[in-house]
Amino acid sequence: MTLVAGLGNVGVQYELTRHNVGFMLVDLLLKELPNSQISGAKFKGELFKTEFGLFLKPSTFMNSSGTSVFAVSEYFKCDRLIVIHDDIDLNLGALRFKKGGGNGGHNGLKSIDALCGSDYERVRVGVGKGANVLSYVLGKFSSDELTALAPILEQAKAGLLALLQGQSITQVASTFNLKANSQ
């Protein structure tokens, strides 16, 4: 069973923030895929079943994402994990598909790595970096940034679907990775 975890923070105050691009991509996918919600407090998040596997939006807040990911993965005996997250080391407009690697200081990834290991597939959505990292990632996208983000999320959705339909991470990266326009 495949588990796709989109990282973000719960609550209206965090909607459309840079840290919530994982939630945004899961929402975009679920609009198109027939799905059913699975309830259970033990999952510590919103969990949906689709033809491709499970989609999770942890409700544990970013820094404890691993708690939710681990709970779902263990309960359903998931053998594959794909994590969607924001990446401040990539400019807005960049998109990277990869497997394994470090956490780059991302607290959500640190939490997942501690409980699940680090050898999982990743969809890294570039958001850029501000002077104060915390206030920047918790800040909302501007309307211009949201306009720029829309086609990146569409590209990420297409790449993730290709991955879920059996293409290798190398094939998907070769086809769907994006470089940011020079800023």
Q: Which residues are catalytic?
A: 19
Ramachandran quadrant class, 48 (left: phi over 0; alpha: psi -120 to 50; beta: rest)? beta
Nearby residues of 144 by Cβ (< 8 Å), 6 or more positions away: none
- 3-class SS of residue 157: helix
- 3-class SS of residue 63: helix
Distance (Å, rounded) from C-alpha 127 to C-alpha 19? 8
